[in-house]
Amino acid sequence: MNDFLRLTPEAAEAEVERPAAEKVLAGDPVFTTWNAEERDGLYCGIWQSTPGKWRISYDEWEYCRILEGRSVITSDDGTAYPLAAGDSFILRPGFSGTWEVIETTRKDYVIRL
């Protein structure tokens, strides 16, 4: 194993899925995930979603940086967080609300369980 890993879609095999049907609020979002690293409760990779809106609820800690596209994350208290390429943020355990992809969005991420 090499101690250096460039974070690109070529670093991992793509996994394609959709959010659970009961969480979807609009559209038909399709997720593509390239999970490049998985060890000791840490996950790192690239995630992409086509347009749609669904409910989210976090038990884990996640750092994200938007690489392309536009999304809006809205917390259960109604606070909306518009996101575009170059934006970075952290979602902490206990966050819940919605994620709406306006334009196909790609992010890199680090998740800690």
How does pLDDT run along the chain (113 residues), one tens digit per residue?
679 999 999 999 999 999 999 999 999 999 999 999 999 999 999 999 999 999 999 999 999 999 999 999 999 999 999 999 999 999 999 999 999 999 999 999 999 99
Topology (CATH level 3) of domain 21-112 = Jelly Rolls (2.60.120)
Cα(34)–Cα(46) distance, integer angstroms:
5
Q: What is the dihedral of CA 78, 79, 84, 85, to 10 degrees?
A: -130
Cα(31)–Cα(52) distance, integer angstroms:
10
- Residue 66: its pLDDT value, please? 98
- Residue 1: its pLDDT value, please? 61
* DSSP 3-state of 9: helix
Are the beta carbons of 64 and 93 closer than 8 angstroms?
Answer: no
Are the beta carbons of 108 and 64 closer than 8 angstroms?
Answer: yes
